[in-house]
Amino acid sequence: MSMTDSPTSDILYPLSCFDCDASKGVTRAKILEAHELSEPYRTLLAHDRDMTGTLEAYFKQAMTLRVHVKKVEGNSLYRQVSLLCADDGRPAEFGAIRIDLSCFDDETRELVAACVVPLGRVLREHHVAYVSNPSAYLEVEPDEMLCEALQVTHGPLFGRKNELKMPDGRAIAQIIEILPPLPDNISTHA
């Protein structure tokens, strides 16, 4: 599958775009309903906010970005990244994302393309209006690449398929967001 393909039946898009590159692919993914997620995953995944801010509230520290793979095709930026806790370096999330760079002004586009700051923080700090629209919650059995990125040895892991849209309906980003195993110490205000 080329990077520009985005079949609606591909629940792991855009993660599946990277199968021929850095990842051997997630071995299995099962779709769950939000109510099937246990805590803290339900609170961390079943919402319409960006994950950067949600994870910063949960871990009570800022998130940094580690880029595993980055590709640009036209106005589309594809990347596999980890969000890491800034204070202790713990992995907080693995993400595979396709970002439409044409949705941004020049300054914001440069910042997004640099892949240094998490997308959620860029959107907040540059006052980019968007709507977060999770379309599926996932239970995944990770492959070697995901295990390494999240510093785990096995699954299951939990995540979501999400799309960020501008108020006019244009898609800013399609995202697969996968969390490592987490204790239930989440604040109810996250």
Q: What is the pLDDT of residues 133-157, one digit of tens each?
A: 999 999 999 988 899 999 999 889 9
- Cα–Cα distance for residue pair 96/34, rounded to 1 Å: 21
List pLDDT tens digits, range 59-116: 999 999 999 999 999 999 999 999 999 999 999 999 999 999 999 999 999 999 999 9
- Give the CA count within 13 Å in the CB-facing half-sphere of 156: 14
In a domain, 56, yes or no: yes
Residue 115 domain boundaries = 15-179
Let me know if residue 163 belongs to a domain: yes
- 185 in a structural domain: no
DSSP helix/strand/coil, 20: coil
Question: What CATH number has the domain bearing residue 43?
Answer: 3.40.1410.10
123 belongs to a structural domain: yes
Q: Which two tokens stand for residue 154?
A: 């096995």
Pairing of strands 136-141, 131-132: unpaired
Number of domains in the chain: 1
The DSSP output letter for 75 is T
pLDDT tier, 35 (very low <50, low <70, confident <90, very high otherwise): very high
Structure tokens at 44: 């961390």
